[in-house]
Amino acid sequence: MDSQKLGSWAFLLGVIIAILAGAASAAAVGYPGVEYVPLVLVILGLVVGFLNIADKEVQKFLIAGIALIAVGIPGTGLMEIPYLGLYLSRILVLISVFAAPAVLIVSLKAFYTLSKKPTA
């Protein structure tokens, strides 16, 4: 399997896990293994950051990633929505947990690329 395909699968798996784990978060409290969901999302985010973003996609990816993270941070306000708020809030938080390491890796790669180019 090539790295682009692996990165695509990691992205899809990360989003699915974030949505399912967020939706099940209220019911899953106390179940063994639940505490590892954020770790799995961070690892998948790192894989996406390393393997899935081409140089021409960096700017769009960083803008989209920062937007995802920014939405997830204040997502706790969604908990005010009756019945669904807790689930929506947790989904956004877990998507942010998944997106943050990918954004970190891509931004560090972009920073490195920019720092080695001479300015004219």
Task: Say yes or no to pLDDT of 120 above 80.
Answer: no
Rounded percentage of the chain residues whose pLDDT exceeds 90: 16
pLDDT at 108: 92
- Which residues, including other chains, have CB under 8 Å from residue 93's CB and lie 6 or more apart? 22, 72, 75, 76
pLDDT digits (tens, 9 = 90+) for 48-63: 888 877 778 888 989 9
- To the nearest whole number, what is the mean pLDDT of the chain? 82
Helix (H) or strand (E) holding 36: none
Q: What is the mean pLDDT of residues 12-34?
A: 78
Please, which pLDDT band fits residue 104 given cuts at 50, 70 and 90? Answer: very high
Cα separation values, 101 from 34, 65, 91, Å? 20, 10, 17
pLDDT at 1: 66
